[in-house]
Amino acid sequence: MENYKPNQNRSFSATPDSGLRKQIFLLKGSAGMGYDFKITKTANAKPKPDPNNLVFGTVSTDHMFEMSYSPEKGWHDGQIVPYAALQLDPATAVLHYAQLMFEGLKAYRSDDGRILLFRPDKNAERANISNDRICIPRIDEELMIAAIKAIVAVDQDWIPDAKDTSLYIRPFVIATDTYLGVRPSSNFKFYIILGPVGPYYKGGLSPTRILVEDNYVRAVSGGTGFAKVGGNYAASLISQQEALKKGYQQVLWLDGIERRYVEEIGTSNAFFKIDGEVLTPPLTGTILPGITRDSVIKLLQHWGEPVKEERFTIEDVYKAHEAGKLEEVFATGTAAVISPVGELCWKDKVILINDSKIGKTSQKLYDTLTGIQTGKIKGQFGWTVEV
């Protein structure tokens, strides 16, 4: 039975339930987009953290979105409920075989009080690309965006207003069959949780120190590198841990066959400015199609700056450095936006990039992207969507 009927007056009805506070919500603007989600408000609202001291990923808001999937009903019963721990049978499939996809995007409060999302359609599209790869049923993309808008609207007081802060949005799907045999689950849950965040790296925009990983690999052709699935991140942890022990914040991943071609940096896409031209590896299956990556390419093209999606090796990077042509290195992702790299270490050879200072292109991209995201800059591309 389909639960999501267009609702012309855009009202969200509260659950007819229990000791929790009951309320009817009329959400202004496009929040909810005609979908009728039940809302159960918490009776125990939490205190908000100091917006000037937010550490990424440590604070959750008061509510979350949840929706179920069964073969009989499809995706159904989307609702907003108080944020709470999940109760799972220890044999739940996701706990064993990682049938889990996730997304990440942010909401910003503009100076004139609007709530802005950045390219949520791209997250919804990518979520289904990830879903396809690990046998999770697709979620209607309009429904996904409506759910994101609805939960952000409910917890909008949690959007922090200090510089370089935002409300991080984490949609994810888990496989919920209780079965220990290896096969795709038949039942799933979709959640969206939120949390106010500051810069992803402690040092903010200070250039990072990156160790080139030549032992472990992140992705291979035919694998899951292009999908945002939990297993990719589990497999990367040992490498990050070893880099941290050596005093580096992240690793640079090389390709899984020749261990020469540059792929990604940590959980981000990688960009190198060499001799006036910006290079990033192409999306050939082992690279995550980052939304910030795509936005950076489009901005550079719009500014008339040379940018190429092509394969290049770590030797090319070191040769360019020797020739004085390696101008900038930066990583791009939702969490960090633009993260300049100040130092690379490959086989014990250390090179400094731009004297370990943020480069002009990285700074301009950061300022422009965050300007568009927060509504300070009117973008040409229609990338921001109002809640």
Binding site for ligand COI (CB under 6 A): 104, 267-268, 333-336
Give me the least distance between CB of 104 and ligand COI, in Å please. 5
Give me the least distance between CB of 292 and ligand COI, in Å please. 7
Which one, 130 or 267, has the nearer CB to ligand COI? 267
Give me the least distance between CB of 28 and ligand COI, in Å please. 30
Give me the least distance between CB of 132 and ligand COI, in Å please. 19
Give me the least distance between CB of 170 and ligand COI, in Å please. 9
Give me the least distance between CB of 160 and ligand COI, in Å please. 17
Give me the least distance between CB of 179 and ligand COI, in Å please. 28
Which one, 268 or 280, has the nearer CB to ligand COI? 268
Give me the least distance between CB of 314 and ligand COI, in Å please. 22
Which one, 64 or 320, has the nearer CB to ligand COI? 64
Give me the least distance between CB of 331 and ligand COI, in Å please. 9
Which one, 295 or 361, has the nearer CB to ligand COI? 295
Which one, 104 or 223, has the nearer CB to ligand COI? 104
Which one, 267 or 354, has the nearer CB to ligand COI? 267
Of 153, 152, 202, 165, which Cα lies nearest the Cα of 51?
165
Which one, 236 or 354, has the nearer CB to ligand COI? 236
Rounded to whole angstroms, how far apart are CA atoms 31 and 287? Answer: 32
Q: How far is CA 367 from the centre of its chain?
A: 19
Q: Are 150 and 35 in contact (CB under 8 A)?
A: yes
Which one, 166 or 187, has the nearer CB to ligand COI? 166
Rounded to whole angstroms, how far apart are CA atoms 11 and 27? Answer: 7
Instruction: Determine the residue with CB nearest ligand COI.
Output: 333
HEC string of the chain equals CCCCCCCCCCEECECCCCCCCCCCEECCCCCCCCCCCEECCCCCCCCCCCHHHCCCCCCCCCEEEEEEEECCCEEEEEEEEECCCCCCCCCECHHHHCCEEECCEEEEECCCCCEEEECHHHHHHHHHHHHHHCCCCCCCHHHHHHHHHHHHHHCHHHCCCCCCCEEEEEEEEEECCECCCCCCCCCEEEEEEEEEECCCCCCCCCCEEEEEECCCCCCCCCCCCCCCEHHHHHHHHHHHHHHHHCCCCEEEEECCCCCCEEEEECCEEEEEEECCEEEECCCCCCCCCCHHHHHHHHHHHHCCCCEEECCCEHHHHHHHHHCCCEEEEEEEECCCEEEEEEEEEECCEEEECHHHCCCHHHHHHHHHHHHHHCCCCCCCCCCEEEC
Which one, 40 or 208, has the nearer CB to ligand COI? 208
